Amino acid sequence: MALQDLTPQLRTRLSRMERAVGWFVLLATLALLVGFAYYLRSTAARKGWFTQKVYYMTSLANATGLDEGAPVKLLGFDVGEITKIEANGPYDPYGVTVFFWVKKPYYGYLWSDSVVKAANLGLFGRTLELTKGFEGVPTVQEAAEKAGVGLLKRDVVEQRFQLMLSEGKSASAALKELNAVAKAQPGMFYADLQSAGPYWMTPEESPAVTERLEQVVDQVEKALPNFLQLTNDLTRIMANTATATSNFAVIASNSLPTSQHLAELSGQLRGAGALAEWVLPPGGPQQLASTLTNINSLTANTDTNLNLLVSELARSLDSLASMTSNLNSQVQANTNIVTAVSDAIVHTDDLIQGLKRHWLMRSAFKSPKTNEPPREVEGMLRAPNDPFRK
């Protein structure tokens, strides 16, 4: 139907509807453009597209857990990003070189005494964490960026610092004086940000969680033989102590009648003309006293040795409990261990089942064939009085 065939009322309504649809499309387009602009602005602020960046680099033993594009942290904030990871030569003291950038204004916290730590994020992940500088020279000269001077020259700073130390100055005084000289003469200590290469920062690498777990396991394995040996020694000492106590009890029980007899004999020899000194041998009382003193010292030494042994055993048990609690805390902090092991078992089972079904390995998993059981002849197993038996 043509538009001219419509009534004036329908044409008026249709024109109103067209205007409403046009306004709706226009508003939706504007809203889409505003949302896209806000997304671009937030992404640029988060990624630092329009923010001044300073490029750094450091060296590590290995790149385990580090990926390109991973964030770089400072004081708990994401201040940069890893741009590249390269392997070093076979004779270099470090294994890899990591390149990263830090955005403004966070590079103002990085001084010549700042270090880079490869912090652990979990069981297998790591990230770069920068430390705030306390003494030294700032790596970036903020006031001189527009003049073409910005990034610190590390070799110049180290040469001047060693020269000040050779003059007899302390490290703190040398760093303070070096900082003042760098502020007064920035052209000597700083290079243009565009022409200077990345600034190398000193690394301070910590072992990964898996390496620390291996160290804990090694300590436990080393402590167990000593603990078992200590237990065996304690058992042997306790057995010897029990034997000595039983022998002492037997000696004491045997000496009781002798003491009674001596008391009766001494009672009979009292008075004038007593023959006690004639009955006892010369030096008998002194030998008896010496014997009793030796017995007392033996008992005291045994008690002291038992106390020392028990204290050493308690210290060993405390050390073992501390190592076990550390291992437990590491396992509790990394809850993905059981899931990873379970996934590995399931994937291994799927691999074996797939090998069984593959045409190349199918013959290795065939079940042995057996002889087919003999078939029953029709009518042989029927009863004699079966009416259907022929």
Same domain, 33 and 153: no
Same domain (yes/no): 44, 171? no
* Segment 309-314 mean pLDDT: 78
Give how many domains the chain has, as a whole number.
3
Percent above pLDDT 70 for the chain: 69
Q: Does some domain include residue 367?
A: no
Q: Render pLDDT for 348-358 as a digit per residue (tens, 0 to 9).
A: 888 888 777 77
The single residue listed with the structure tokens 């903020």 is 142
Q: Radius of gyration (Cα) for the chain, nearest Å? A: 46
Query: What's the CA gap between 45 and 42, in Å, rounded?
Result: 5
Question: Does 97 lie in the same domain as 195?
Answer: yes
Do 144 and 86 lie in one domain? The reply is yes
The two structure tokens encoding residue 157: 């700073």
d(C-alpha 63, C-alpha 85), whole Å: 8
| pLDDT at 52 exceeding the cut of 70 | yes
Decide if 363 is inside a domain.
Answer: no
Domain check: are 114 and 139 in the same one? yes
Q: What is the pLDDT of residue 206?
A: 57
The whole-model pTM stands at: 0.44
How confident is residue 64, by pLDDT bands cut at 50, 70 and 90?
confident
Does 252 map to a domain? no
Domain boundary among 330, 347, 381: 330
pLDDT tens per residue across span 12-46? 777 888 888 889 999 999 999 999 999 888 887 77
* Two structure tokens written together for 32: 């889409």
382 phi-psi bin (left φ>0, alpha ψ -120 to 50, beta other): beta
Asked if the structure places residue 115 within a domain, the reply is yes
Please check whether residues 228 and 175 belong to one and the same domain.
no
**Quick one: 132 and 231 in the same domain?**
no
State how far the alpha carbon of 36 is from the alpha carbons of 26, 28, 33, 49, 136, in Å.
15, 12, 5, 16, 45
Asked whether residue 67 falls in the same domain as residue 32, the answer is no
Name the more confident of 247 and 101: 101
Residues 201 and 236 in one domain: no
Most confident range (mean pLDDT) of 82-86, 187-191, 197-201 is 82-86
81-136 pLDDT, tens digit each: 899 999 998 888 888 999 999 988 888 888 888 899 887 766 657 888 999 888 88
Q: Is residue 381 in some structural domain?
A: no
Q: Tell me, what's the pLDDT at 387?
A: 56
Q: pLDDT, tens digit, for every residue of 150-176?
A: 788 888 888 888 888 888 888 888 888
Instruction: Note the pLDDT of residue 159.
Output: 87
Contacting residues for 327 by C-beta, under 8 A, at least 6 apart: 213, 216, 217, 220
The verdict on 215 and 98 lying in the same domain is: no
Domain that holds residue 325: 207-247+300-330
Tell whether 313 is covered by a domain: yes
